[in-house]
Amino acid sequence: MGKGELERVQPALLHGSDHVLPQWRRVRDPELAGNPSVTALLVVGAGPGVGTTKVCAAVAALAVERSAGCTVVQPAETGVADGAEGSLATVARLAQGARTVELTRFPDRLPPAAAARWSGRPALDPAVCAEAVLSASRDGGLAVVDASGGLLVRYDDDGSTPAALARTLRLPVVVVAGAGDGAVNATALTLEAAASRGLALLGVVLGRWPVDPGPAERSAVDDLEMLAARPLLGALPPASCDPGVFREQARTGLGPALGGAFDAAAFRRRARS
């Protein structure tokens, strides 16, 4: 990153870029498959345990399959001891051929800024994070940022967040939603935070769609599409540990904008029946 670019990026990351804008900044052509203009995106969880890293792995698996290449960037891994396998090890197993980059790690399962304070380790440098994403996208293929902790989780005590990173680098955002109780409210809060910052919403993916969904899960489909003002971008079943089977799950569980063949209308009809 050149000096001028760094000077432009760093203040925006540090101060959060929280100017309120009334509408989504629309992606003119959101198709990632075969669209060289889209080189990076942010995948953010609308809550804990919704399957954000699995969605990153699915996007990466399809990118590798179409020979586009992919790098999954994990800004901050928390709750994992040094030397132990982190979440990116799962990405590497399921999306064979994808590159992975972990920028910081903290042993305590806390938000990144708190984990840095608690451990006495340096917090994530927002400029280093931005450079890692830019570098991955310049290397060819797609750069996917795994923001499992949420859109507004703080990376440092100066207030840098995944939302600020997405706004500064103009990254389209994929929101990973849960299914069932509390999912609609949590997703609504994430979407509102994204919209107020002028972020480009690519869509909403259900990261852990159950094999036998009940009324709470099925009724949430219409609500999530209403909140996002667009059809679902995907729904992934429980992940297989076999890379080939997982790749097929990714193909059928992610929409065309992410390189898959997910049919939102057919999924909606099944949820309503």
Q: Determine the Cα–Cα distance for residues 240 and 45; give it in Å rounded to an integer.
A: 20
Q: What is the pLDDT of residues 34-83, one digit of tens each?
A: 444 568 999 999 999 999 999 999 999 999 999 888 999 999 999 999 99
Q: Which pLDDT value is given to residue 10?
A: 43
Half-sphere exposure of residue 98: CA atoms within 13 angstroms, side-chain side: 31
Binding positions are 53, 78, 207-208
Asked if 271 and 221 touch (Cβ cutoff 8 Å), the reply is yes
The arrangement of secondary structure in 3-272, i.e. its CATH architecture, is 3-Layer(aba) Sandwich (3.40)
Q: Determine the Cα–Cα distance for residues 82 and 202; give it in Å rounded to an integer.
A: 34
pLDDT of 30 strictly over 90 = no
Sign of CA dihedral 124, 24, 29, 46: positive
Planar angle of CA 65, 71, 75, nearest 5 degrees: 145
CA end-to-end span of the chain, whole Å?
Answer: 52
Which percentage of the chain shows pLDDT scores above 90? Answer: 81
Q: Determine the Cα–Cα distance for residues 255 and 222; give it in Å rounded to an integer.
A: 17
Asked if 203 and 257 touch (Cβ cutoff 8 Å), the reply is yes
Q: What is the pLDDT of residues 157-191, one digit of tens each?
A: 999 999 999 999 999 999 999 988 889 999 999 99
Q: Which pLDDT value is given to residue 18?
A: 36
Residue with more model confidence, 15 or 120: 120
Mean pLDDT computed over every residue of the chain: 88
Q: What is the pLDDT of residues 189-214, one digit of tens each?
A: 999 999 999 999 999 999 999 999 99
Binding positions for ATP are 207-208
Q: Which pLDDT value is given to residue 38?
A: 64
Q: What is the pLDDT of residues 259-270, one digit of tens each?
A: 999 999 999 999
Binding positions for substrate are 78
Closest CA to 46 of 213, 218, 220: 220
pLDDT of 255 strictly over 70 = yes
Which percentage of the chain shows pLDDT scores above 70? Answer: 86
pLDDT of 140 strictly over 80 = no
Cα Rg of the chain (Å, integer) = 17
List Cα–Cα distances, 16 to 6, 187, 241, 252, in angstroms: 15, 21, 38, 36
pLDDT of 27 strictly over 80 = no
